[in-house]
Amino acid sequence: MATSANPTRDDFAALLDQTLGGAESFEGRVVIGTVTGIENDLAIIDVGLKSEGRVPLREFAAPGQPAELKVGDEVEVYVDRVENANGEAMLSRDRARREAAWDKLELEFSQGNRVEGVIFGRVKGGFTVDLSGAVAFLPGSQVDIRPVRDVQPLMDLPQPFQILKMDRKRGNIVVSRRAVLEENRAEQRSGLIQSLAEGQVIDGVVKNITDYGAFVDLGGIDGLLHVTDLSYKRVNHPSEVLNIGDTVKVQIIRINRDTQRISLGMKQLESDPWDGAGSKYPIGAKLSGRVTNITEYGAFVELEAGIEGLVHVSEMSWTKKNVHPGKIVSTSQEVEVVVLEVDQDKRRISLGLKQAQQNPWEAFAAAHPVGTEVEGEVKNATEFGLFIGLDGDVDGMVHMSDIAWGISGEDALNLHRKGETVKAVVLAIEPDKERISLGMKQLERGGVATGAAATPGGAGSRVNKNEVVTVTVLEVRDAGLEVQVGDDGATGFIKRTDLGRDRDEQRPERFQVGQKFDAMVTGLDRSKKPTFSVKAMQIAEEKQAVAQYGSSDSGASLGDILGEALKAREEKK
């Protein structure tokens, strides 16, 4: 194609069309143009097309900065259309920057590199970030390691970001500032942890407090100060000793370089109170202490700051057995204890609470020697005896054989009920075995007896079970007779049904006061008075007569047999 010596713009356009295959091939491309003028807020740019294009000046400005553009500057712009309805080229600086930025960002993303950006706006769920022309989304959770209440200081400030996700077709980019901070912190922690050593003493700032301890900032890396390492004395919660923001001196106990975990201690900087504990707390020493904790198996008593001993539940009371320690002592109560055992290696001290008090069985023995009469309430009835509550909150036991004369132990137990007040005599005391033996029948006068020994009240004051005695009628009642053995013996009662075998014999009105007759002693009633029975005597005599004088089977009548028995009885008298 021939050209003139002085080519015109049309000549240049024709040459360009020939070279590039037509002006339409400019569309969708980034080209270099020259600023030919600035009118108001628009920059006039010549990209070598038939007409120039106009681009807003704000597209040439960085976020938060004014546009620095002058005539003659060359700039990259994106050709959206070669010619619009007004015959002008449609250009975009933002689109050019965005296309260039996407190319660069894709390369950085593939290599895992950080990119620089500026937070310039707020949107739902996060913020917008300018990555040299490309707009990315920064989720609110990815702004910082910890939640940030005010993000304004971070706005319009160039800073590094990590690309998490890119989708060019949809124009989506997701970035994270938090990932960069965590990576930086990990690098700092790794460097700092290498400079620390176990046993080193270092200052730190209390950063957070939990139920199990406190996290202390050692200048870029946190260490855990466990509650058990705060002090030798008992600490229930770290807030009793520390506050957030306190500067504390700690010792590094352990360092795990693989997990980058550091264990700290404060009590290690103090003198150990357990040193020489064996000599400070000899066995048998009586001490004062404060109850610090109560469990199901006992109570912990603080003897001094950092030293606690355990009072086992079995060593808490002489008399209160199988009760919760909380019913004997309370937290913060001052108590006196006795040292029972010391194990300095295991840092254990066994204490006794009851040993600091007088043995109640010894006190009872001193106040109530053998033979003393006592009174108490029946606390419990067992299959072998009764437990009686005595002075000093101790119990004494009445064996069933010592409850009453003349009846079996089982029958004697049935005479008494729990809660009943009774009297007894002290038979024996064994303080070392915590045992007191009592007797009740030894106080009875005129009770039924099983042996020949006399009881208080004289030989005539006692009767024997199953013995036939002569009684005198003292009172006639509808229910039976009140009778007395001899003239001054035991008094008792004969029920209506026990006055004879036949119905006619069971009428109390056939007896008179002062009348004497024979009856058999059958046992004791609830008031421990003997009970008598004519009927039982008659039955016993019949059995004895049959056995001694023959049976009705031998041809003798029952009348003959009884007649012989009565005759022999009269002769004996």
**Does residue 412 lie in a domain region?**
yes
**Does residue 69 lie in a domain region?**
yes
**Does residue 451 lie in a domain region?**
no
Q: Where are the alpha helices (DSSP H) in 491-549?
A: 534-549
Domain boundary among 391, 414, 443: 443
**Does residue 222 lie in a domain region?**
yes
Task: Label residues 119-139 b or e (16+ Cβ within 10 Å = b).
Answer: bbeeeeebbbbbbbbbbbbbe
Residues 249 and 287 in one domain: no
Residues 158 and 236 in one domain: no
Residues 547 and 468 in one domain: yes
Q: For residue 478, give the nearest of 502, 500, 501, 494 by alpha carbon.
A: 494
Residues 346 and 379 in one domain: no
Looking at residue 82, its pLDDT comes to: 66
Residues 252 and 315 in one domain: no
Q: Is the pTM of this model over 0.85?
A: no
**Does residue 2 lie in a domain region?**
no
Please tell me the distance from the alpha carbon of residue 560 to that of residue 549, in angstroms, as a whole number: 9
Residues 470 and 538 in one domain: yes
Residues 467 and 506 in one domain: yes
Give CA angle at 532 (526, 538), nearest 5°: 145
What are the angstrom distances between the C-alpha of 338 and each of 78, 301, 363?
94, 11, 19
**Does residue 125 lie in a domain region?**
yes
**Does residue 572 lie in a domain region?**
no
Total domains in the fold of the chain: 6
Looking at residue 21, its pLDDT comes to: 45
319: amino acid identity, one letter:
T
Domain boundary among 339, 356, 373: 356
Per DSSP bridges, beta strands 348-352 and 307-312 are parallel
Residues 40 and 86 in one domain: yes
What are the angstrom distances between the C-alpha of 491 and each of 152, 219, 229, 448, 488?
108, 99, 80, 11, 9
Looking at residue 279, its pLDDT comes to: 82
Domain boundary among 269, 293, 321: 269
Residues 468 and 541 in one domain: yes
Looking at residue 228, its pLDDT comes to: 87
Splitting the chain (573 residues) into consecutive groups of 10 residues, what average pLDDT does each group show? 55 55 58 80 76 74 70 76 65 72 85 90 91 87 85 89 89 91 79 80 90 87 88 85 90 83 88 80 89 91 87 87 88 91 88 87 87 89 88 87 78 84 89 88 58 36 77 89 83 88 88 90 76 89 74 51 59 56
- Contact residues for 43 (Cβ-Cβ < 8 A; gap 6+): 35, 37, 54, 55, 56, 57, 60, 69, 75
**Does residue 452 lie in a domain region?**
no
Residues 255 and 311 in one domain: no
Q: Is 426 left (phi over 0), alpha (psi -120 to 50) or beta?
A: beta
Residues 326 and 376 in one domain: no
Identify the domain containing residue 74 by its residue range.
9-97
Residues 233 and 287 in one domain: no
Domain CATH for 500: 2.40.50.140
Helix, strand, or coil (residue 431): helix
